[in-house]
Structure 1
Amino acid sequence: MKVLVVHNRYRSEQPSGENAVVDQEVALLAEGGHRVALAERRSDDIAAMSLPRKAAVPLLVPWNPAARRDLRTRLRVERPDVVHLHNTFPLFSPSVVAACADARVPVVATLHNYAMVCPPGTLYRDGRVCTDCVGGPPLPAVRHGCYRGSAVATAPMAVSAVVNRRRWWSGVDRFFCISAAQRATLVAAGMPAERLAVKHNFVPDPGVRRSGTGSHLLFLGRITAEKGVRTLMSAWDLVAADGGLGLPLVLAGTGPLADDVSRWAAGRDDVRYVGLKSKEDCRALTADAAAVVAPSSWLEAFGLVVVEAMAAGVPAVASAHGAFTELVDDGETGLLHRPDDPASLAECLRRIVSAGNRTMGEAARLRYEKGFTPSVGLDRLVAGYAAAIAAHASSGGAGRARSFR
């Protein structure tokens, strides 16, 4: 196939799992013999813009006519078999969906978060899961300033959600949801179920596997409240007060709570905060873990760290909500704890280092081999493209161009 991938890259100052997924899929398609081209814009470029251009960026979030024009021209020249949309915020906008309709090209879009029903895409506010905007207008998001704590910054995203809802839902031939949990939320919000398919992200084989039962427990990710860092700290204090586990807790990553974690870990033998690490170091830390801990407070749409642990033959301890309930087979490939419950998490941490840890790790690796390898990812990606192309042809997709003018 000839595929054009459209993606607005996130700022490089913060590691982006979405950027990594896009890069891996592009490489996977090319290795599989498909012709892949990229249409990219970079949020990093905003910093170098003139003040007038910077001021115009929020105004173009709901609709960017230049982005539509540029992509339409490219599509008419290159004529790909399918366009694969990822992130369009803030420099593309949903106008790229109209560009695909103009050029009469089938469209697939991966939904990496909940932005279709929640302006910031998180379903999380004030330390709790929030669904106030799901199934209705996103006025609560503006009122609470859900994006960057600002009503002004949130407003363009809310406007875009309202004015472009029909365009997204009717103009995209196939949506890839990255978990069944995410799909269920979107269907409940009114998105067309027949266009929503589950396609889990894949993970390359790390090339290193755990031997034995591991030498530490590992938290790997953004050091933020929504990732459950405070719940983990409280749970670990409960474990320590009960005599500990004989293994240290290692936390790797950075984020708003990094200073709090550093102070909490200082002077302790049972906790190590190692900050942001390279990909190679993260693979080594994962492969040497008794378990990876993912105590997220928000509803993870996927949970890449859990699947990366599977690939290394390491079980996970994760919150029993969001995508984790389908990624972790409780008692078989890991353990699930009650979300935001330190006592429940502490009990799971005690259990995961007891008898059965090695068996869980082996089962986790088998689960990875069956459902999350690159070969499985390529098969599902190409099958999704084929389904989108067929749906586009059968629905008279060429006629949709007129409705977007």
Structure 2
Amino acid sequence: MIAGLAPAGSRPLRVGIVCPYSFDVPGGVQFHVRDLAEALIDRGHSVSVLAPADEDTPIPEYMTSVGRAVPVRYNGSVARLAFGPMTAARVRRWLEAGQFDVLHLHEPATPSLSMLALWIADGPVVATFHSSLVRSRSLQLAYPLVRQSLEKIGARIAVSEDARRTLVEHLGGDAVVIPNGVYVDAFAGARPDPRWVGTPEAPTVVFLGRLDEPRKGLPVLLEAVPEVRRAFPGVRVLVAGRGDTGPAEVRELLGDDADAVEFLGGISDEEKAQLLASADVYCAPQTGGESFGIVLVEAMSAGTAVLASDLGAFRRVLDDGQAGALFRTGDPADLARVLVGLLGDARGRARVAAAGEAAVARYDWSTVTHQVLTVYEMAVEGSAAPVGEDPTSLRGARTALRRLRGDDS
């Protein structure tokens, strides 16, 4: 339970959750929203999620789509966002139909659905902030658009201390830290797949992430492959995820050492759990822009030793190297050195994996959902009415849209 907060009440709530990013190419925020919604439903609450998605994108029945989104460069990657007057009208209809006890917005400073919902809605509003940025031109531009609306937020959540720091420095105010959740048992109970299980002579190292985002660090891992292969000629580096990087690019970079790298493409949630359970080491070579590290927790839950760059967010998840190994961010030579040490020490690797398994209980959705519900109850108790429409929202939205277009007339 969060220090200083009373236990969450037991009455069922009508919860509206808004995700700013499209489910066409889901990432960490989308998975967080999906899993939170399903955890709340399992506890007897009524949940509706609003998110962008193309017509042919399969979405669960509790989700409402506002239609397709537009790719926009944001926070070092490409985010698919939905914005504009037609989208705002859909948000308004969804809010009116939902009659929610509490509205939960994710990333409300991102120019997409959550920002629109924040302009339009009035009543008990909770916001979760995911991003971790040292300096953000995007947030600096967004702040004038949401400055007054931020006062509507009754309770703020940050998924990590890094995300909390970004909120405080760029938008002001503070937040309670509630981490991303993981269904620990789903990974702990995953069966290894013989295709991906290593041997002492041919260990397997796994990378998961979007392949064409430099901050995910795949080039750092690839540059370490020749050195690792000198110690373990049979090593297999299994790369799962979507993107333009493929065998041809790796062959050009590594030459004959490219034989150690296998591209698996996009994989399902079940396959991800099996892949993590099969690996000797999960490697997270990200170079920045990470506020948490959910895949680290998933690998730890699967009983796999984790090796990660020493970003602040990763250090905190790995208890400063007690629950996983760390290497200098962006340094392929140091990555290779630490990875070779892990692969060559089965007992040490098992100790790292066991420490990771012991550390993940605080991230299980059973714990995280209780903490989120506690925040919901605080927001609801502090409001005199359920979620409705802000009578000033139409004028405010029009003004903000003109600012976005650069028209201040």
Task: Tell me which residue corresponds to 1:149.
Answer: none
Change (3 A) 1:372 1:219: same
Task: Tell me which residue corresponds to 1:260.
Answer: 249
Q: Alpha-carbon deviation of 1:285?
A: 1.4
Taking only aligned residues, the RMSD between alpha carbons, in angstroms, comes to 3.6
1:28 aligned to which of 15, 39, 43: 39
SS at match of 1:358: helix
Q: Are positions 1:203 and 2:182 aligned together? A: yes
Q: How many Å separate the matches in 2 of 1:263 and 1:176? A: 44
Change (3 A) 1:169 1:78: closer
Q: How many Å separate the matches in 2 of 1:199 and 1:390? A: 20
Task: Tell me which residue corresponds to 2:281.
Answer: 291
- AA at the equivalent of 1:343: A
Task: Tell me which residue corresponds to 2:350.
Answer: 358
Q: How many Å separate the matches in 1 of 2:238 and 2:71? A: 40
Q: Alpha-carbon deviation of 1:113?
A: 2.6
Task: Tell me which residue corresponds to 1:86.
Answer: 106
Contact 1:295 1:340 (C-alpha < 8 Å) held by counterparts: yes
Question: Structure 2 length normalisation: TM-score?
Answer: 0.74
Deviations 1:215-237 (A, max 9, x none): 41111111132111111111222
SS at match of 1:94: helix
Deviations 1:292-341 (A, max 9, x none): 10010122122221011011011211111142121112442111111111
Superposition pairs of residues 361-372 of structure 1, within 5 angstroms: 361-368=353-360, 370-372=361-363
Q: How many Å separate the matches in 2 of 1:41 and 1:273? A: 29
1:19 aligned to which of 21, 27, 30: 30
Q: Alpha-carbon deviation of 1:64?
A: 4.0
Q: Are positions 1:111 and 2:99 aligned together? A: no
Q: How many Å separate the matches in 2 of 1:56 and 1:298? A: 24
Which sections of structure 1, spanning at least 5 residues, go unmatched? 47-52, 115-122, 124-129, 138-157
Number of equivalent positions: 350
Q: Alpha-carbon deviation of 1:172?
A: 1.8
Superposition pairs of residues 57-72 of structure 1, within 5 angstroms: 64-72=84-92
Q: How many Å separate the matches in 2 of 1:78 and 1:67? A: 16
Task: Tell me which residue corresponds to 2:160.
Answer: 179
- AA at the equivalent of 1:16: G
- AA at the equivalent of 1:183: R
Q: Are positions 1:232 and 2:183 aligned together? A: no
Q: Are positions 1:374 and 2:365 aligned together? A: yes
SS at match of 2:366: helix
Q: Alpha-carbon deviation of 1:93?
A: 6.0
SS at match of 1:356: helix
Deviations 1:66-105 (A, max 9, x none): 555554455455431101123676663623112212xxx2
Contact 1:223 1:254 (C-alpha < 8 Å) held by counterparts: yes
Change (3 A) 1:256 1:391: farther
Q: How many Å separate the matches in 2 of 1:316 and 1:240? A: 19
- AA at the equivalent of 1:182: A
Contact 1:100 1:106 (C-alpha < 8 Å) held by counterparts: no
Change (3 A) 1:90 1:11: farther
Q: How many Å separate the matches in 1 of 2:355 and 2:371? A: 23
Contact 1:338 1:344 (C-alpha < 8 Å) held by counterparts: yes
- AA at the equivalent of 2:328: R
Change (3 A) 1:391 1:351: farther
Change (3 A) 1:280 1:75: closer
Change (3 A) 1:285 1:264: farther
Contact 2:160 2:313 (C-alpha < 8 Å) held by counterparts: yes
Q: How many Å separate the matches in 1 of 2:35 and 2:101? A: 20
Contact 1:67 1:93 (C-alpha < 8 Å) held by counterparts: no
Change (3 A) 1:217 1:168: farther
Larger relative contact order (CA 8 Å, sep ≥ 6): 2
Q: How many Å separate the matches in 1 of 2:198 and 2:354? A: 11
Q: Alpha-carbon deviation of 1:239?
A: 2.4
Question: Structure 1 length normalisation: TM-score?
Answer: 0.74
- AA at the equivalent of 1:109: A
Which sections of structure 2, spanning at least 5 residues, go unmatched? 1-12, 58-66, 73-80, 396-409
Change (3 A) 1:236 1:92: same
